[in-house]
Amino acid sequence: MRAQSDDLAKPQEEDSVSSGSSEASTDPLNPEQDEDWEDAEPEEEENLQVKDFFSDETFPSARAMLEFCQDQYGFDFVKVQKDLGVIKLVNYLRSAAKEGNTKPDVSSKELFEDDKYLQPVIEDDALLFCLDELSDIQSSSQPAISDSAKGKAVNGDGDPFARIAELEEQLQRLQSQFNEYRLTVAKTLDERWNDKSSDAQAESSKQVIPAPRDDDSHYFESYSYNDSYRDFIYNNKHLFKGKTVLDVGCGTGILSMFCAKAGAKRVFAVDNSAIIDKARENIFENGLQDIITCHHGKVEEIVLPLNKGQKVDIIVSEWMGYCLLYEAMLDSVIWARDRYLKPDGLMVPSHCTLHIAPIFDPDYIAECVSFWHDVYGFGMAAMMDKINDDVLVRHLDQDVLASEGTPFLQLPLHTIITADLTFVKEFEMKLQRDVDGLDGWCIWFDTFFLPDRTKSPSTDARAETYKDEGNAFTTGPGGKETHWRSGVMLIDRRKSKQGQPLKKGQKLVGSVEYRKRKVNSREVDIEIKWDAGAEEKGGQTWFMR
């Protein structure tokens, strides 16, 4: 099964796949990747010209501008942003001033829930590059603690710890807002690249110019599944408090740090790649080295420093691969579970469900055919095998599906064994619209986090609508994009029967087979067989390599 990561509407673009879920090259918190952001910052801070909110005046620093703004208009930005947030407030004020409103309404928090205010109004807005300075201004704007007040605090009449907690909360809010801004910048850069590519293609219909690959373009967004881990861990701190945790394939150590912050007594962070060195740095930087210990190597080969007979209470891991099981670490997680987890211990996540749905997208198929028939003026139809034989990794919209997805396998992480990872599962569904014929198949997975190992999500549970105990996320069409996306398998019509168009409500039955390769058990091939009667039936195997 070959993974080609790209948008479904761009057949000429081909990407390679990362070879593991804990590789530094795909990790969202790898400090080495931050080097790319340096170009977005001004080379010399003294050259910044910070524009006033309500006039064309410019200032050499954020402090000078905000002081002018308060003196001239009576607008206390520092005070207002505490409740509303820096990024959105700046862009809201810029937007209001652009419309000639010098007295914008900042009383409604609901107004700032709109994500449109994450988009900069002024290109390269210098104020947004001064977030650290804004933090300094905020701190200096707090009233100084007098000697008498200090005395009261010492005598118990005040609470200096509450003040410290307040400052920590403010710092976390600023960091979160800065991350939001970085995401917005990444999206903007990606859009500009695509615009340039489109313009170049328009100049010559014969010239194929793939859009530049930008692995950071969805740097934060595609790793948003970490929110599901964080939410589960933080919402169930009673499960982690005082417990021993094993993080298999820890990557940058983010999951380990979630567990430590939730009250875990001890965390073992294990990874076989060089990213473990970055994990150590991240853990030390956050002062968690007394709780989290890092171990370099395969979990099957290292020896955890546990007393004889001692086991861990919880195993946490981001082990999933493309189509769930390609290049996945599940074999290692199962081994770690059987070797180290207590009989009543908890697996995080606890369940995964695989789904399948038919695809009908004739426009894309037509683009594929026409593209390979004329590449720089040459016919290269033989390359059609590439898209027909390999699994493509795409983020799809719901409207390309001919039916709702149907689950064909649920993996209970507390009990599944490695033999279960090679399987043939049947499926049945009904078409939800008329189609001229099936163009392919889409496979994705939902991941569930349940706090009770004795419970399971229902077999028809959907992550996007899940409201029972725990939480979940999906990699499926229409959901929030993840770096796994979905697996897309296009039907080779030279090998399959295609008859009359299919009608809404028509039954479609078939089977999905996952076969592990003998050379590498983390690689799988997928075979799908289907039958919709005389009009549509076939069988095909797709590869990821």
Return phi, psi of residue 514, to 5°: -110, 120
pLDDT digits (tens, 9 = 90+) for 170-217: 666 666 555 555 555 444 444 443 444 344 444 433 333 333 433 344
Number of domains in the chain: 3
pLDDT digits (tens, 9 = 90+) for 25-82: 444 444 444 444 444 444 444 456 888 888 888 888 888 888 888 888 888 877 776 6
> Is 318 tagged catalytic?
yes
- Residue 523 in any domain: the answer is yes
Task: Check pLDDT > 60 for residue 476.
Answer: yes
Structure confidence at residue 43 (pLDDT)? 41
In Å, the largest CA–CA distance within the chain is 90
Q: Which structural domain range is residue 81 located in?
A: 31-179
39 contacts 292 by C-beta, under 8 angstroms: no
User: DSSP label at 24?
Assistant: G
Q: How far apart are CA 414 and CA 303, in angstroms?
A: 22
Q: Which stretch of DSSP H or E encloses residue 345?
A: strand 341-348
pLDDT digits (tens, 9 = 90+) for 434-458: 999 899 999 999 999 999 999 999 9
Task: Check pLDDT > 70 for residue 311.
Answer: yes
Q: In whole angstroms, how large is the CA radius of gyration of the chain?
A: 27
Q: Which stretch of DSSP H or E encloses residue 35?
A: none
Structure confidence at residue 354 (pLDDT)? 98
Question: Is the same domain home to 131 and 232?
Answer: no
- Residue 108 in any domain: the answer is yes
Structure tokens at 274: 């060089």
Residue with tokens 């569930």: 448
Question: Is the same domain home to 310 and 253?
Answer: yes
CATH number of the domain that 251 lies in? 3.40.50.150
Nearest Cα neighbor of 349 from 524, 475, 219 is: 475
User: DSSP label at 435?
Assistant: B
Vertex 159: Cα angle to 157 and 165 (nearest 5): 170
pTM over 0.85: no
pLDDT digits (tens, 9 = 90+) for 492-541: 877 766 556 899 999 999 999 999 988 887 889 999 999 998 778 899 99
Question: Is the same domain home to 169 and 67?
Answer: yes
Structure confidence at residue 157 (pLDDT)? 47
489 versus 69: which is more confidently predicted? Answer: 489
Among residues 317, 332, 362, the one where a domain terminates is: 317
Active-site pick, 43, 166, 301, 318: 318
Question: What are the helix and strand counts (H, E) for the chain?
Answer: 13, 19
Q: Distances from the Cα of 248 to the Cαs of 24, 146, 196, 211, in angstroms?
A: 15, 50, 42, 36
Q: Distances from the Cα of 167 to the Cαs of 148, 171, 173, 512, in angstroms?
A: 21, 6, 10, 54
Among residues 124, 156, 179, the one where a domain terminates is: 179
DSSP-assigned beta bridge partners for residue 435: 502
Among residues 121, 144, 179, the one where a domain terminates is: 179
Question: Is the same domain home to 154 and 85?
Answer: yes
Question: Is the same domain home to 386 and 533?
Answer: yes
- Residue 324 in any domain: the answer is no
- Residue 133 in any domain: the answer is yes
Task: Check pLDDT > 70 for residue 296.
Answer: yes
Structure confidence at residue 170 (pLDDT)? 65
Q: Distances from the Cα of 515 to the Cαs of 182, 388, 529, 545, in angstroms?
A: 41, 18, 14, 13
- Residue 326 in any domain: the answer is no
Q: How confident is the model at residue 152 (pLDDT cuts 50, 70, 90)?
A: very low
Structure tokens at 34: 């931050």
- Residue 328 in any domain: the answer is no
- Residue 369 in any domain: the answer is yes
Residue with tokens 């879920």: 21
Question: Is the same domain home to 358 and 270?
Answer: no
CATH number of the domain that 420 lies in? 2.70.160.11
402 contacts 435 by C-beta, under 8 angstroms: yes
Question: Is the same domain home to 307 and 373?
Answer: no
Question: Is the same domain home to 309 and 372?
Answer: no
Question: Is the same domain home to 387 and 455?
Answer: yes
327 contacts 17 by C-beta, under 8 angstroms: yes
Question: Is the same domain home to 365 and 474?
Answer: yes
Helices 86-98 + 160-203 axis angle, to 10 = 60
Task: Check pLDDT > 90 for residue 286.
Answer: yes
- Residue 327 in any domain: the answer is no
Question: Is the same domain home to 430 and 536?
Answer: yes
Structure confidence at residue 267 (pLDDT)? 98
Mean pLDDT, the chain, integer: 78
Structure tokens at 101: 């409103």
pLDDT digits (tens, 9 = 90+) for 127-151: 766 655 555 555 444 444 444 444 4
Q: How far apart are CA 66 and CA 120, in angstroms?
A: 18
Question: Is the same domain home to 440 and 387?
Answer: yes
Nearest Cα neighbor of 416 from 338, 474, 345, 322 is: 338
Structure tokens at 322: 């493309």
> Is 169 tagged catalytic?
no
Structure confidence at residue 83 (pLDDT)? 58
Active-site pick, 44, 327, 513, 527: 327
